[in-house]
Copies of this chain bind each other. A is one copy, B any other.
Amino acid sequence: MVETWLPTLKTATPQEGFELATKLARLGVKLTQPSDQIRSKLRAAYDQDSGQLIASSQVIAIHFQTVAAANNYWRD
């Protein structure tokens, strides 16, 4: 059976949507580098690198656009 890691883009609140966007940013890295061990090692480095933190924040921002649109900006 295939694992389900992204069942829906719907979230109850903008905050949950932002957390989903953060998850999607990490999934993009994981699909490119599937090794948990290598990702952990890399994370220890980039967590202390402001340029890479800003870049991560940018990927979250792009995904948040998608999630926000999918939820009609939680206007309803």
Chain A interface (Cβ < 8 Å from any Cβ of B)? 4-9, 13-15, 18-19, 22, 24-29, 31-33, 38, 42-43, 45-66, 68-70, 73-75
One complex includes copies of this chain to the number of 6
Given the complex of chains A and B, what is the CA–CA distance between A63 and B24 in angstroms?
12
**Which chain B residues border A33 with CB–CB below 8 Å?**
47-48, 53
Interface residues of A, dominant DSSP? helix
Q: Please tell me if the beta carbons of A57 and B75 are within 8 angstroms of each other in the complex.
A: no
Q: Please tell me if the beta carbons of B48 and A28 are within 8 angstroms of each other in the complex.
A: no
Q: Please tell me if the beta carbons of A28 and B60 are within 8 angstroms of each other in the complex.
A: yes
* A38, A54, A55 — most chain B CB neighbours (10 Å): A54
Q: Please tell me if the beta carbons of A58 and B60 are within 8 angstroms of each other in the complex.
A: no
